[in-house]
Amino acid sequence: MAKKISRRGFLKGAGGTVAGAAVAGMAVGAGVTALPPRAQAAGAVMNKKAELPKAMGARVVVVGGGWSGLTLSKYLKKEDSKLDVVLIEPRATFMSCPISNLWLAGLVDYEFITHSFLDAARNNDYTFFNATVIDVDRGARKVFTEQGFVDYDYLVLAPGIDYDYGAIGVSDPEDVYMLSTHYPAAFKPGSEHLSLKQKIHEFEGGAFVLTVPSGNYRCLPAPYERACMVAAIFKKERIKGKVLLLDANPDVTIKGPGFHAAFEELYKDHLEYVPSVTITGVDVHKKKVTSEFDEFDFDDAAIYPRVRAAKLIETLGLVDPNSPQKEAHIDPFKYNVVGDERVYVTGDSRPMPFSKSGNTARSEGKFVAKLIAARAKGHDVEWESPRTICYSVVNIDPMEAIMVDATYAYDGESFGFTNVKMINDRDSIQAQSTLEWARSHYRDMFS
Ligand SMILES: Cc1cc2nc3c(=O)[nH]c(=O)nc-3n(C[C@H](O)[C@H](O)[C@H](O)COP(=O)(O)OP(=O)(O)OC[C@H]3O[C@@H](n4cnc5c(N)ncnc54)[C@H](O)[C@@H]3O)c2cc1C
């Protein structure tokens, strides 16, 4: 069993925090070291202007090249070609979360879900800056990255989500590290997905635990779709394994009849659905999930904890004090930070109860682009509802899907679904529409 260390001890020993403390001018003392010259020089780079093309108009800096940020960057230029748009994103390659469950099951290849930020920027006439945002000075309107700062007239923060392992009883940094490394959620694109695919295809049998978190988590149907895809692989490859789907919610959160039909009719021997499981801990070493009432042993797992807004929102002091998921404090109709019409937050970091999904982020991104372009000219525009369209593939042979399509209405107190179209009877027409839906979004973002 790995030695436990306290959170305080971990923070004292963590290199990043030491550097942060020194940059912040904290006293050098026990557990904190003076920065060597090259590290100091790296810190000083942040005070220099980033080496980017000169701004040719009012500059809008977009932080985060996901579904939200890519859409905003393109549509800001479409709304007003004179705007100078810079997209800041630390990843070098775009990988799509939507359709990744199909890729796990071998229904599409890796090229289908990966795309080039360079193509997106070049084809849509904005600047791609491959860097990480570390801080923002809203008074001076500067965004700081490890490669220098960028001045802005308007700033959009679209950094997505982070995981909140504390909500499932895993708070010690060492335990969080072990859990996120050994049993990654795979709800943020990249290495987590690659690990998961390998785990599934190399699985030798037994219980493969997948979990559905509480709260407004990223993509309501995706954990159920994934459970179907993993069960389908076990069935097809005759692996003596079973998906144990532990749901924090009392029932499937969306498209319930469609998913239940798939669980019961297609995967009876390969999938067990367990609702109302409030996870209170995960023992990585004993391979055991503990809940309020039960314990579940597993042979392998992908543990999806509750989600929160990306940590950048908290770092910048923009968290809504009433948001349990640490989402941003913004005007729910205009997306600007309360009291600051120069800074906006979109995508999965928003606090409104919209589905945290790509289609939602894209339709919203088009609206916010229109809003910023109008405001830059001294006008305003009326609120438009985002639109959520979500297909879920539940069968691989033949490929069949279910779907939901909805917008949102405000009743004076909160937002709720309206104009809902739901197809729970799986069929191959919806499966073809799933692929066409994805192709059209990729086409729009990258060409
Ligand atoms: C398995 C799975 C299946 C899904 N299926 C669907 C589906 O079928 N349909 C659908 O509509 N949605 C689906 N989704 C949801 C969809 O992927 C997300 O809702 C969408 O990606 C949200 O967009 P975003 O731009 O807010 O966040 P993201 O797409 O996560 O983008 C955030 C970006 O911000 C960057 N970033 C973070 N911090 C910083 C920083 N400090 N500086 C600079 N950049 C930073 C990140 O690198 C990232 O690229 C699915 C998600 C998953 C995981």
Q: What is the pLDDT of residue 371?
A: 98
Superfamily of domain 165-306: FAD/NAD(P)-binding domain (3.50.50.60)
Q: What is the three-class DSSP state of 167?
A: helix
Q: How would you class 265 by CB atoms within 10 Å of its CB: exposed for 0-12, middle for 13-18, buried for 19 or more? A: exposed
User: Is 159 within 8 Å of 63 (Cβ atoms)?
Assistant: yes
The segments of the chain whose pLDDT lies below 70 read: 1-30
Residue 62 · residue 72 · CB < 8 Å: yes
- The reported pLDDT for the residue numbered 23 is 44
pTM: 0.92
Helix (H, G, I), strand (E, B) or coil at 187: coil
Q: Using CA atoms, how far apart are residues 12 and 31, in angstroms rounded to an integer?
A: 5
In the structure, which protein residues have their CB atom closer than 6 angstroms to any atom of ligand 1? Answer: 63-69, 88-91, 97-98, 100-101, 132-133, 158-160, 187, 218-219, 222, 310, 312, 347-348, 356-359, 361, 390-391
Residue 341 burial (10 A CB sphere; 0-12, 13-18, 19+): middle
- Domain 59-160+310-383, second-level architecture: 3-Layer(bba) Sandwich (3.50)
Query: Could you write out the three-class secondary structure of 13-82?
Result: HCHHHHHHHHHCCCCCCCCCCCCCHHHHHHHHHCCCECCCCCCCCCEEEEECCCHHHHHHHHHHHHHCCC
Run of H or E residues at 445 = helix 428-446
How far apart (Å, rounded) are the C-alpha atoms in residues 280 and 245?
Answer: 16
Distance CA 216, CA 355 (A): 7
Ligand 1 atom nearest residue 360's Cα: 11
Q: Which atom of ligand 1 is nearest to the CA of 91?
A: 47
Q: Provide the CA 92 distance to its chain's centre, in angstroms.
A: 17
Do residues 44 and 64 make contact, with C-beta atoms less than 8 angstroms apart? Answer: no
Q: What is the distance in A from the centroid of ligand 1 to the CA of 69? A: 9
- Helical (H) or strand (E) element with 369: helix 358-376
231 contacts 267 by C-beta, under 8 angstroms: yes
Give dist(CA 13, CA 205) in Å, integer. Answer: 39
- Taking the C-alpha atoms of residue 339 and residue 1, their distance in angstroms, rounded to an integer, is 50
Single-letter amino acid, residue 400 = E
Residue nearest ligand 1's atom 30 by CA: 160
Contact 327, 158 (CB under 8 A): no
Q: How far is the CA of 346 from the centre of ligand 1 (A)?
A: 11
At 28 the pLDDT is: 62
Asked if the bond preceding 398 is cis, omega within 30° of 0, the reply is yes
Residue-level pLDDT at 38? 82
> Nearest C-alpha to atom 29 of ligand 1 is from which residue?
66
Among 108, 104, 100, 110, CA closest to 232: 104
Q: Where in the chain do CATH 3.50.50.60 domains reside?
A: 59-160+310-383, 165-306
User: Which residue lies with its CA nearest to atom 41 of ligand 1?
Assistant: 133
Q: By C-alpha distance, which of 67, 235, 84, 238 is closest to 159? A: 67
Q: What is the dihedral of CA 218, 223, 224, 228, to 10 degrees?
A: 140
Q: What is the pLDDT of residue 30?
A: 64
Residue nearest to atom 52 of ligand 1 (CA): 97
User: Using CA atoms, how far apart are residues 331 and 351, in angstroms rounded to an integer?
Assistant: 9
